[in-house]
Amino acid sequence: MASKQQDVKDLVERKYRHGFVTDIESDTLPPGIDEDVIRHISQVKGEPQFMLDWRLKAYRLWQDMQAPNWAKLKLEPIDYQAISYYSAPKKDENAPKSLDEVDPKLLETYDKLGIPLHERARLAGVAVDAVFDSVSVTTTFKDKLADAGVIFCSFSEAVKQHPELIERYLGTVVPQRDNFFAALNSAVFTDGSFVYVPKGVRCPMELSTYFRINAANTGQFERTLIIADEGSHVSYLEGCTAPQRDENQLHAAVVELIAEKDAEIKYSTVQNWYPGDENGRGGIYNFVTKRGDCRGDRSKISWTQVEAGSAITWKYPSCILRGAQSVGEFYSVAVTNNYQQADTGTKMIHIGPGTRSTIISKGISAGQAQNAYRGLVKMMPTAENARNYTQCDSLLMGNQCGAHTFPYMEIKNPSAIVEHEATTSKIADDQLFYCRQRGLSEEDAVNMIVNGFCKEVFRELPMEFAVEAQNLMNVSLEGAVG
Amino acid sequence: MIIDISNLHASVNGTEIIKGLNLQIGPGEVHAIMGPNGSGKSTLAQTLAGKSDYEVTAGTVTYKGADLLALEADERARAGLFLGFQYPVEIPGVSNVYMLKAALNARRKAKGLAEIDSVEFMRFVREKAKLMQLDQSFLSRGVNEGFSGGEKKRNEIFQMAVLEPDLAILDETDSGLDIDALKVVANGVNAQRDGERAFLLITHYQRLLDYIKPDYVHVLANGRIVRSGTHELALELEANGYDGVLAAAG
């Protein structure tokens, strides 16, 4: 009897599963931002002069910029002086060479998160560059990747080991002045991932990074740079979980992808930051700039994202289709429940002739949530015979949520073909009854219908992520019907 | 007794449709309910299956010795009550086999059986698909997605064959079928008659009953069963029409 009561209690109190904090001493800067803070970050990271100059330039640009207000989002103004811009685990100076040297507390945290760092990573054949707060703790599979000539390391390490690549490519896709959040990130980013795949190399494994926010009041400013040189191929997986928090936390990441001639980059994300509680308190503010540059002919960049977390999502993974016959793809599932708000979509900028892009966006809203798709398809005068296909579907659960679609098209070449399809539907009572009449519980029926709705996107995800994504849908929409 | 319906009254949006219906179906029996449009045939089917907007205002329904009305729709299904829908809905992106496997496992779990493994399930399902003359590609298509009317009906009987219910209520499964499709559907139903499984066929036309021979035929009018008989009654209905039979029944 007691255990049954406990079960019920657990069920009722089941909250965000990854909501906990690990108490590792952090070396944290006091809140606030000025040039000294930036100098400090650059100094503790032992960066070369060009990096400091680059950061300072970004900071000066940022000071004259305004936070964008065009998105369909309601949020309180953010006090950027109340944020601490640097936090690192204490034992930074003696960075571990292997897992055995890693702080056991940290490993415990990874364990709770179900991160396959130990055997699981090995078995799955996935290299993990795990970011804990702002400093990379350990990188696995480096040797195997090194054999193939692939560089996969933390951003800080790349700055030290491969400054020439950083100097050549950093900011060439997302310049410092690109937007308010990208400028801030450029000034204060502390770490992230770096990938370089040399000419003609097919990366021997899926690359995966797990992000995690930990210390209180510490904004996360990740910087990712992936370069696929001529004829190479790489698939990168990014997944996030965050501990439960009461106050809002800012996350402003920048991801830059560069695909040279005949190269292909596949970038997959499952985003599950803390979304706030059922009354809309807390949750992560996620302002992300992700952009890929198809620089070479016949190059291809494919974004697949499953956005389930965060109180606020502001994110438009985009492709600049510069090379002739280059291909851009965007597959997205954005699910919002309770008081979550998402304004997400993509930009496909067609510059080269014969360029093609595909946009498949699935938005799911439940509770009081607001979900907006915002997309731009731009055909430049040089984009002879370019094509775009856009499909935007929205699924509503209940009658207090909202779905919005803002497709923008700028066609400057008469030979271009642009197609746009959009649907909005509700989970029909008839569908639910049909499934229940076959013996499925209401919850299972909803999950099945939602997963069916998302199928076109889920099948673009690497296998191990597809399963996770389905589970994530189910957890995110718990209690959304009934 | 599989099901015992006693003095059933049911309303939809406050309007009483079923007005004191009595019906008993024993194991292995095939009952047909016929009646004119608006007599309450489909309401009866949906009410027994537990659709939420169908409200039972009086009466009892005992199913396999238990109170059917106390169960949720999915619990009824897991207890072996199957409804073949008149208008099966589409569920885009969810494959037929995926839903069927989930449904079958839900039913097996309720029976205390282990989940069926995928290889065994596929073998089982292919066999049933063959029976219904369904192409293999049918299995991986979305549930009823882009199916023709006839395909949807065949799919219902196919699902029934896989789920092996104790009581199958088939709501106008014959409507919209050409004669060849009707035969396939009838064969599918007949193959499921095993002396235990009970059927309640709801139909407008006697035509179906040429292929599925019922043990009993009931005439439903204005929410009540006004006449019951054997297959002869169906033939009489065809000869004289509902008006003639209803007039004779008073």
Task: Give the nearest partner residue to A437 out of B77, B102, B142, using CB atoms.
Answer: B77
- Which SS3 state, helix, strand or coil, does residue B101 take? helix
Q: How far A435 CA lies from chain B's nearest CA (Å)?
A: 8
**Are B18 and B43 within 8 A, CB to CB?**
yes
Instruction: Flag if B94 and A451 touch (Cβ within 8 Å).
Output: yes
pLDDT tens profile B198-218: 999 999 888 889 899 999 999
Instruction: Give the pLDDT score at A447.
Output: 85
Number of neighbouring beta carbons within 10 Å of residue B208: 25
Task: Give the nearest partner residue to B92 out of A435, A439, A452, using CB atoms.
Answer: A452
Chain B residues whose C-beta is within 8 A of a chain A C-beta are: 49-53, 72-74, 76-78, 82-83, 85, 88-89, 91-94, 98-100, 102-103, 106-107, 110, 142-143, 159, 163
Instruction: Flag if B99 and A448 touch (Cβ within 8 Å).
Output: yes
Side chain identity, residue A250 = L
Instruction: Flag if A437 and B92 touch (Cβ within 8 Å).
Output: no
Side chain identity, residue A342 = A
Q: How far B237 CA lies from chain A's nearest CA (Å)?
A: 32
Instruction: Give the pLDDT score at A188.
Output: 92
Q: Which of A306, A309, A439, A320 is nearest to A361 (CA)?
A: A306
Q: Is B139 a residue whose pLDDT tops 50?
A: yes
Instruction: Give the pLDDT score at A310.
Output: 81
**CA angle at A391 for the pair A389 and A395, rounded to the nearest 5°:** 175
Q: How far A316 CA lies from chain B's nearest CA (Å)?
A: 26
Domain ranges in chain B? 3-249
Concatenated DSSP letters of B193-244: --SS-EEEEEES-GGGGGTS--SEEEEEETTEEEEEESHHHHHHHHHHHHHH
Instruction: Flag if A448 and B102 touch (Cβ within 8 Å).
Output: yes
Chain B residue nearest residue A436, CA to CA: B74
> Would the pTM of this model clear 0.90, i.e. be above it?
no
Give B60's contacts (C-beta < 8 A, 6+ positions apart): B4, B5, B6, B7, B8, B67, B69
**Are A154 and A136 within 8 A, CB to CB?**
yes
Task: Give the nearest partner residue to A430 out of B76, B89, B102, using CB atoms.
Answer: B89
Instruction: Flag if A448 and B89 touch (Cβ within 8 Å).
Output: no
All residues of chain B having their beta carbon less than 8 Å from the beta carbon of residue A442 are 74
All residues of chain B having their beta carbon less than 8 Å from the beta carbon of residue A473 are none
Instruction: Flag if B93 and A429 touch (Cβ within 8 Å).
Output: no
Q: CA A159 to CA A193: how far, in whole Å? A: 11
Compute the CA torsion angle A173, A178, A180, A186 (nearest 10 deg): 40
Please give the mean pLDDT across all residues of chain B.
90
User: What are the C-alpha distances in Å from A81 to residues A34, A86, A219, B29?
Assistant: 9, 13, 11, 78
**Are A274 and A19 within 8 A, CB to CB?**
yes
CATH class of segment(s) B3-249: alpha beta
Q: At what angle do helices A442-458 and A429-437 cross, to 10 degrees?
A: 110
Instruction: Flag if A440 and B93 touch (Cβ within 8 Å).
Output: no
Q: Which of B81, B91, B105 to mutate to test the interface with A (most CBs of A within 10 A)?
A: B91
pLDDT mean values, one per 10 residues, chain A (482 residues): 45 44 59 89 90 95 89 82 72 49 56 45 38 42 80 88 95 94 93 92 76 43 94 86 53 94 94 77 86 97 89 92 97 88 93 96 88 93 96 87 89 94 83 94 88 87 71 67 53
Q: CA B237 to CA A178: how far, in whole Å? A: 79
Instruction: Give the pLDDT score at A468.
Output: 67
All residues of chain A having their beta carbon less than 8 Å from the beta carbon of residue B78 are 439
Q: CA A250 to CA A80: how far, in whole Å? A: 9
Work out the burial of residue B67: count CB atoms within 10 Å of its CB; fewer than 13 is exposed, 13-18 middle, 19 or more buried.
exposed
List phi, psi (to 5°) of B123.
-60, -50
Q: Is B250 a residue whose pLDDT tops 80?
A: no
Chain B residue nearest residue A443, CA to CA: B74
Give B190's contacts (C-beta < 8 A, 6+ positions apart): B211, B212
% residues pLDDT > 70 (chain B): 99
Side chain identity, residue B16 = E
Mean pLDDT across the stretch B227-245?
Answer: 85
Instruction: Flag if B85 and A456 touch (Cβ within 8 Å).
Output: no
Q: CA A450 to CA A106: how far, in whole Å? A: 35
Instruction: Give the pLDDT score at A92.
Output: 39
pLDDT tens profile B48-104: 999 988 999 999 999 999 999 999 999 999 999 999 999 999 998 898 888 999 999
Q: Which of B248, B230, B186 is nearest to B34 (CA)?
A: B230
Task: Give the nearest partner residue to A452 out of B50, B74, B142, using CB atoms.
Answer: B142
Burial A371-385 (b: 16+ CB within 10 A, else e): bbbbbbbbbbeebbe
Q: CA B150 to CA A168: how far, in whole Å? A: 63
**Are A272 and A18 within 8 A, CB to CB?**
yes
User: What are the C-alpha distances in Å from A350 to residues A354, B28, B133?
Assistant: 9, 67, 49
Q: Is B169 a residue whose pLDDT tops 60?
A: yes
Task: Give the nearest partner residue to A433 out of B51, B100, B106, using CB atoms.
Answer: B51
Chain B residue nearest residue A447, CA to CA: B94
User: Would strands A127-132 and A87-89 be described as parallel, antiparallel, or unpaired?
Assistant: unpaired
All residues of chain B having their beta carbon less than 8 Å from the beta carbon of residue A441 are 74, 106
Instruction: Give the pLDDT score at B78.
Output: 96
Instruction: Flag if B78 and A454 touch (Cβ within 8 Å).
Output: no
